A = this chain, B = another copy of it.
Amino acid sequence: MQSRTPASRTGRPRSAAADTAILAATRAALVELGWSKLTLGDVATRAGVAKTTLYRRWAGKNELVVDAVAELFDELTLPDRGSLAADIEGVVLQFATILARPEARNGLMAVVAESTRDDALRERIRASIVDRQKRLVLAGRARAQARGELPPESDAEEAARTVDLIFDMVAGAVVHRTLVSAEPADEEWIHGFTRVLLSGLSATGP
């Protein structure tokens, strides 16, 4: 989570309940107010803590919302539906379901926008949100190779590039569909998307 003091052994410990209350209050405020009208004073009031307590744990609005949104992606898992296409559709559906929630929509793009001028914030997003998504791509690819649905990796570096490409295509398409086009990434859309993506991947030439 936030920058802890790992070697603190004495003194009053930080309330773990306050953490969860603050993050939950942040998500609630995101739903009701959105990003721009969300104030840290309001979050503190909702959480039942003092504003100063909030500032002692998080550097600012950006970091707080990143942590609050990151918890939404904890539920992402890789289902075993038997085939690569079905696995992808399952993961994309989970991802789309999370993005359909207003606290995710309101918070995610805002912190990404802020991260364009804040390298530390981008690293925080990568570690707590993006990597958690990318891990599913890696796992799904490995399972598909074990099944023989995808050719095994010949070059390690080439494989890494492919994974990055797939990840940007999947996450980017779902995010763009949900937030820019503002239309639901429902099962029908996901099915069409998966078909195009898989056809393109299976035809991997030089």
Contact = CB atoms under 8 A, between A and B. Distances in A.
A114 B36 contact: yes
Interface residues of A, number: 49
A192 interface: yes
Contact of A102 (B110, B116, B199): B116
Contacts of A15: none
A156 interface: no
- Copies per complex? 2
A176 B182 CA distance: 16
Interface in A49-84: none
A34 B183 CA distance: 28
A146 interface: no
Contacts of A13: none
B165 A176 contact: no
Contacts of A197: 196, 200
Nearest to A61: B36
A122 B113 CA distance: 16
A125 B182 CA distance: 11
Contact of A109 (B106, B112, B171, B172): B112
Given A112-B113, A168-B177, A172-B172, 16 more contacts: A34-B114, A109-B109, A113-B179, A125-B180, A130-B181, A165-B192, A168-B176, A168-B180, A169-B172, A169-B173, A169-B193, A172-B174, A176-B176, A196-B197, A196-B200, A197-B200
14 contacts: A36-B114, A106-B117, A109-B113, A112-B180, A113-B113, A116-B179, A164-B181, A165-B196, A168-B180, A169-B172, A175-B175, A175-B176, A176-B176, A196-B201
